[in-house]
Amino acid sequence: MFDSFPQGVSTRLARPRYHEEYYRTLKSGIGHLNKLERGQHFKERGFASWEAFASGHWDKALSLIEERRDAYAQQVEEVDRLGVLQRRLRVVEFPVTPYVQWELHVLRLRVEVGDRIRLLDARTIRDIEKHRPVPEVVILGDIAMFEVQYDDDGNAAGANHYTDPELIAETSAGFDELYAQGEEYAAFFDREIAPLPPPAATP
C-alpha cells in the first residue's frame, strides 16, 4: 500500500493553478473524489473560526463555525449534482493536537450537511507508516491525483499533480482499504473529541 508513492512523475502546481486544475477535473465527468488528510498542524488564515481559535478564543471559534453551513451545503450539493461520490478520511494522532481538535468540530458540520467523512486512529496504521506517513492526497477518479503541499509554517502551498494511471490506481486501492478501516464520524467524535477541554495551546 502506497509503496510506489511518490515515485511517479509529477508537476508542481502553485496554489491558484492547483485550484484551477482541481475544479476543471472535478467537472470533467469523474465518478469519485477521495481525500486523505494526514497532517496534524495547519494554519487556515482568513477563516474566522480558525483566527479565533489561533487567538485563544475557543468558544468564539466554535460559534463561528456555523457561518460556513450554507457554503459547505452548497459544496456537497454541487458534487452530488455532478454525480461524483465524495469521501474523506481524516487520520488522527493521539494525543489530539489543538488544530485537529478544532478541525474536527469543523468537519462535524460538514458531516451534518452530507459529507462522507470517516476518522482513523493513526496508531492503527503504524505498520504502514514505518518509513513515512501516508500521503496527503486528493484523488479525482482515475485520471488525476494531487499531493497537497504546505510550507514550513503550515500554510497551503499548492500541490504535486500526478496523472500516471497505475500510481493513481494503487493509491486509490490504498485509500479504499484505509477508508474501510475508518470509524463513522459521530461515534469517534462523541467518544474522543467531545469530552476534551478547550486546548491549552494554540498556533
Mean pLDDT computed over every residue of the chain: 94
pLDDT band at 77 (very low <50, low <70, confident <90, very high): very high
User: Which secondary structure element, helix H or strand E, spans residue 145, and what is its range?
Assistant: strand 144-150
pLDDT at res. 152 = 80
* CA atoms of 157 and 112, how far apart (whole Å): 29
Q: How many beta carbons lie within 10 A of that of residue 160, not counting itself?
A: 19
| Adjacent-strand bridge partners of 150 | 156
pLDDT of residue 200 exceeding 90, the answer is: no
Q: Burial code of 120-130, b = ≥16 C-beta within 10 A, e = fewer? A: bebeebeebee
Q: What DSSP assignment string belongs to 147-178?
A: EEEE-TTS-EEEEEEE--HHHHHHHHHHHHHH
Report pLDDT digits (tens) over 134-172: 999 999 999 999 999 988 888 888 999 999 999 999 999
What would you measure as the largest C-alpha separation in the chain, in angstroms? 46
* CA atoms of 180 and 8, how far apart (whole Å): 25
Spatial CB neighbours of 190, under 8 Å, sequence gap ≥ 6:
none
